[in-house]
Amino acid sequence: MDCPRRVLIVFVTCCSSPWRPTMPSDAASRPQRLHPVSLLFTIGSVARKMLLPGILVLFVAGGNNYELALIFFFVPAAIAAVVKYATYSYRLGDDEMMVREGVLTRNERHIPYARIQNINLVQNPFHRLLRVAEVHLETASGTKPEAIIRVLSLASVETIRERVFKNREDRSNVADGAVGEQADHVQSLLKLPTRELILLGLISNRGMAVIAAVMGVAWQFDLWGFDWSRIAEQAPKLTEKMGIPIEKPGLTATLVLGVVAVIFGILLMKFLSIVWALFRFYGFTLERSGRDLRARYGLFTRYTAAVPSNRIQLLSLRTTPLHRLWNRSGVLAETAGGGSGNQGEERSETHRLWLAPIIESDKVDALNRAILPDVDLRDAQWNRLPVRARRRIRNLCFVLSTPVTIVAIVVLGWWAIVVAAAAFVWSLVHAAQWWKHAAWTLVPTAMAFRSGWWTRRLSIVRFAKIQTVSLRQSPFDRRHDMARLGVDTAGAGKVGHRLSIPFLPREVAVELHDRLATEAAKRSFRW
């Protein structure tokens, strides 16, 4: 009876013991293990992923025993979780962190402290109850965190932070001749009260995603069960019950009922958006300690994202019409980190961190100067695009609206004239407004570009963060003697990290290209 037990002990001991070859920094500290409750969270994660398939199997299988097949999927996953817990270890060296895991395929990663962009924490209610956290270490290596450590005690997390940030601060002090006494001073940059989060929900349209998902499921499984002709017949009675008496039944009552339904849908969407804002950004605080920015937010799942301000690749300011109506803006930072400071956001939001989901427009300049002290746009001279750029935008809108007009002619007949007129007016308005708000500027340490008119954006890139500067010319650009200037930063991908200025005169684009390339070359790049 003791034989299986001895085999298990030997197996776990062999798996958990560090292996060779020994690296030069191995002796800097002892290997550290995951927190004991890490095993529970890992198995819980596996069980959560199996929950939905399990429910489907139970409903589809009926009285059969097919649900027992879930055991064959859950048990190997649980065993893998135990093995990962037993073999996972990390070591904090003098200038790097080592992560080791695996049995058959052993993986050892060395992460220099200088390459770590962000250290982010994720805490759900169970994490906070047990005083542990999930740690995400981000570098500029890709679209995922370099290392995800599930889970560590808060004391261990602080040890990692102190080692990484102390090493980084020491290097910066040596390079800049600065004194690190200010690192202990914590400056509060922004706190969002509940009323601001409610306003954020009213401004955003996140509730639309929930409504669209529910409608899609209902449509797919035919859950509506509505007899639309009968609803049209009963429309006068329904409107009368709602206190909207209509003398003549028929189309008018149906239209009124439709308007009421649309209003109800908008109110529901805004309510869901408010709930999302409260759950997502409850207790939002942004603090600065030395060069490091730290954002904390979340109601149930608590997020803590830390990023050095000198590692921000691009700073973006965004305003929608509702933002401008309430005199508010949003400030977003893009870093070279591959994971997610906003873990749980859409995957397209990797590399991004909200420094201010909502902020009064009058306070934006002060916040920007606190985040990027070396960038001041107050006295900047903004350069507009040439007038012929407006004509090109207008012509492009005409071309894009042509297929819509053709479809409208086929479907609507003479009513297509209304669609064509609306497309024509929209093209004129869009071209004029986009050209009116588009402008670029250069300041001693950075470049900025304003774009958009419905959703307006201001993008700021410092010269020290520029990776590549490019010029592109389409056949239409060559015909009009124009070019598009592109500025990429570290970690640039399909989403974000890129500043692109279209419709520049070719000579201006070439001059700007040479200026940016020279400014970037004069500065030593540091992560």
pLDDT at residue number 4: 43
Per-residue pLDDT reduced to its tens digit, 401-439: 888 888 888 877 787 888 888 889 999 999 999 999 999
Neighbours of 281 (CB within 10 A): 21
Q: Please, are residues 356 and 367 in contact by the beta-carbon 8 Å criterion?
A: yes
* Pair of tokens at residue 6: 């001895």
Q: Can you tell me the distance from the alpha carbon of 388 to that of 512, in angstroms, rounded to the nearest whole number? A: 19
Out of 253-262, 383-392, 461-470, which region has the weakest mean confidence (pLDDT)? 253-262
Per-residue pLDDT reduced to its tens digit, 447-505: 999 999 999 999 999 999 998 999 999 999 999 999 999 999 875 555 455 789 999 99
User: Residue 461: which H helix or E strand, with range?
Assistant: strand 456-462
Going by pLDDT thresholds of 50, 70 and 90, the confidence category of residue 28 is: very low
For residue 221, pLDDT over 70 is answered with: no
When pLDDT is averaged across residues 141-150 and rounded to a whole number, the result is 77
When pLDDT is averaged across residues 20-44 and rounded to a whole number, the result is 70
Instruction: Name the pairing type of β-strands 498-505 and 32-33.
Output: unpaired
Distance set, CA 415 to CA 251, 255, 408, 411, 508 (Å): 18, 19, 8, 9, 45
298 Rama class: left (phi>0) / alpha (psi -120 to 50) / beta: left
Across 14-25, b (16+ Cβ under 10 Å) vs e yields: ebeeeeeeeeeb
For residue 175, pLDDT over 60 is answered with: no
Which candidate, 100, 84, 94, 96, places its Cα nearest to that of 31?
Answer: 100
Distance set, CA 31 to CA 26, 125, 244, 442 (Å): 9, 28, 73, 49
Give the per-residue SS3 of 304-358: EEEEEHHHEEEEEEEECHHHHHCCEEEEEEEECCCCCCCCCCCHHHCCEEEEEEE
Q: Please, are residues 147 and 160 in contact by the beta-carbon 8 Å criterion?
A: no
Going by pLDDT thresholds of 50, 70 and 90, the confidence category of residue 350 is: very low
Give the per-residue SS3 of 203-253: HCCCHHHHHHHHHHHHHHCCCCCCCHHHHHHHHHHHHHHCCCCCCCCCHHH
More confident of the two residues 173 and 10: 173
CATH code matching the domain that covers 383-522, chosen among 3.40.50.2300, 2.30.29.30, 2.130.10.10, 3.40.50.300:
2.30.29.30
For residue 316, pLDDT over 50 is answered with: yes
- 387 CB burial (10 A radius; 0-12, 13-18, 19+): exposed
Which three-class secondary structure state does DSSP give residue 30?
coil
DSSP 468: E
When pLDDT is averaged across residues 253-259 and rounded to a whole number, the result is 69
The highest-confidence range among 267-271, 344-348, 513-517, by mean pLDDT, is: 513-517
Q: Please, are residues 439 and 380 in contact by the beta-carbon 8 Å criterion?
A: no
Q: Can you tell me the distance from the alpha carbon of 332 to that of 371, in angstroms, rounded to the nearest whole number? A: 11
- Domain borders along the chain are 207-280, 383-522
Q: Please, are residues 164 and 311 in contact by the beta-carbon 8 Å criterion?
A: no
Going by pLDDT thresholds of 50, 70 and 90, the confidence category of residue 24 is: very low
Q: Can you tell me the distance from the alpha carbon of 36 to that of 153, in angstroms, rounded to the nearest whole number? A: 9
Query: ω before 151 within 30° of 0 (cis)?
Result: yes
